[in-house]
Amino acid sequence: MPAKVISGKEVAGEIRDELKKKVAELNGKGVYPGLGVILVGEDPASVSYVTSKAKGCEEIGIHEETIRLAADTSEDEVLQLIDKMNNDKKFSGILVQLPLPDHIDEEKVVNKIAPEKDVDGFHPVNQGLLLRGEQCPLPCTAHGAQQMLMRSGNDPAGKHVVICGRSNIVGKPLAAMLMQKAKGANAVVTVVHTGAKDIAYFTKQADILVAAMGRPQTITADMVKEGAIVIDVGVNRIEDASKKKGFRLVGDVDYEPIAEKASYITPVPGGVGPMTVTMLLYNTVEAAEIISQS
Ligand code: GUN
C-alpha cells in the first residue's frame, strides 16, 4: 500500500491557527511578540526566505521588521545593530539571515544575539541547553520534523530513529531532541554520516528515517525498511528543462519508489519546508511569553 503523505502545509496551518489564538491571548495581557530580521546583501534565496518570514508574522499577527543592510556593511555595524535589538523590547526574537557575506564572521554574529531572543536556536548557550534537555528555543527545521511526526500520530517514543546528516542546523539538534526522556521524544537515535562504511546497513534498521544530508535523491528504496516512516528534510534544485524556471525541487530521498514501501512520507516541496518558518513564529511567540514572565 502506498505511504500516507504527511503534508507540511496542513501541519503548519494547524500550528499557525494555534499561534494566532496564543498571540491574541498574549496581546490581551499586554504582551506583543515581535521579530527583528537582519538581511545583509541581496542573495535571491535569502530575500525569498526573509519575505516568507515577514508574511508568516503578518498572518499570525506579530510585529516584524526586516532591516536590510548593504552587502558591504561591516561586521562591527552588524554587531552594534544586534546589540541595539537585544535591548529593544519591541523584539522578542532576532534572526540574522544566513549565509552572511564572507567578510562577516557568522559565529561572532550568532553569538552576539541574546540567547533568550535567539529564535533560530543557533546560539551555543541554547545548543548546550538542548543537549541537556532543558528549556530553550528549538532549531526550527528539527522542531518542524518532530511536530510532523507527532501530529501524524507517529510518536517517536521507543522507535529507532536513524538520522542521515550531522549538520548543526538539523541532524545534531534533531538527534539531541529525540533522545531526551520527554514527550515527543524518548527514541533510540542513530546518526549516520559520510564516515559510515555502509550507510544502508543503518538506514534499513530505521523505524523512522530522517534524510537531512542535502544531497538530492540519495536515499533509495533498497535502503528503506518496509513500513518505515520517512521524513525528508532535503530541498535541492535539480535541472529540469520542462520547467519555466529551468529547475525543480527534490528531496534527499528517491520519493516515488520509497512511497511504495514506506508507511508515511513527507513530500518535497510541501513537507518539512513549510514547517521551518512556522516553528520560527512559534519560537518568537514563546520567547515573548518567557521574557514577559522574567
Ligand atoms: N538561511 C537558511 N535557512 C536559515 C535559517 O533557518 N535561519 C537563518 N538565520 N538563516 C537561514
54-91 burial, b at 16+ Cβ within 10 Å, e below that, comes to bebbeebbbbbebeebeeebebeebbebbeebbeeeeb
Cα dihedral value 176, 213, 234, 58, nearest 10? 50
Residue whose CA is closest, atom 2 of ligand 1?
98
* Model pLDDT for residues 113-158, shown as the tens digit of each residue: 999 999 999 999 999 999 999 999 999 999 999 999 999 999 999 9
Q: How many CB atoms lie within 10 A of CB 219?
A: 25
CA distances from 45 to 110, 252, 267 (A): 20, 19, 20
Task: Give the C-alpha separation, 111 to 137, whole Å.
Answer: 15
Choices 3.90.1150.10, 3.40.50.10860, 2.170.120.12, 3.40.50.880: CATH for 30-114: 3.40.50.10860
37: DSSP letter: E
Task: Give the C-alpha separation, 283 to 140, whole Å.
Answer: 8
Cα dihedral value 81, 85, 87, 89, nearest 10? 160
Task: Give the C-alpha separation, 250 to 237, whole Å.
Answer: 6
* Model pLDDT for residues 44-89, shown as the tens digit of each residue: 999 999 999 999 999 999 999 999 999 999 999 999 999 999 999 9
Atom of ligand 1 minimally distant from the CA of 46: 1
Task: Give the C-alpha separation, 219 to 293, whole Å.
Answer: 45
CATH topology agreement for domains 30-114 and 140-274: yes
Query: In angstroms, what is the span from residue 197 Cα to ligand 1's centroid?
Result: 31
Task: Give the C-alpha separation, 41 to 259, whole Å.
Answer: 40
Query: In angstroms, what is the span from residue 2 Cα to ligand 1's centroid?
Result: 33
* Domain boundaries of the chain, sorted by first residue: 30-114, 140-274
- Amino acid in the structure at residue 231: I
Residue whose CA is closest, atom 4 of ligand 1?
98
Q: Is 217 in the pocket of ligand 1 (CB under 6 A)?
A: no
Q: Residues 183, 119, 251, 100: is their CA dihedral positive or negative?
A: negative
Task: Give the C-alpha separation, 44 to 52, whole Å.
Answer: 13
Mean pLDDT of 264-283: 97
Element (H, E) at 60: helix 44-60
Give pTM, 2 decimals: 0.97
Task: Give the C-alpha separation, 67 to 231, whole Å.
Answer: 34
Say whether the peptide bond before residue 99 is cis (omega within 30 degrees of 0).
Answer: yes
Instruction: Answer whether residue 203 shows pLDDT above 90.
Output: yes
Atom of ligand 1 minimally distant from the CA of 139: 6
**Which of 47, 49, 94 for mutating ligand 1's site (highest number of atoms within 8 Å of CB)?**
49
* Model pLDDT for residues 211-265, shown as the tens digit of each residue: 999 999 999 999 999 999 999 999 999 999 999 999 999 999 999 999 999 999 9
Task: Tell me what the pLDDT averaged over the chain comes to.
Answer: 98
Instruction: Answer whether residue 1 shows pLDDT above 90.
Output: no
Return the CATH class of domain 140-274: alpha beta
Note the pLDDT of residue 141.
Answer: 98
* Model pLDDT for residues 163-193, shown as the tens digit of each residue: 999 999 999 999 999 999 999 999 999 999 9
Task: Give the C-alpha separation, 157 to 160, whole Å.
Answer: 9
Residue whose CA is closest, atom 3 of ligand 1?
98
Query: In angstroms, what is the span from residue 99 Cα to ligand 1's centroid?
Result: 7
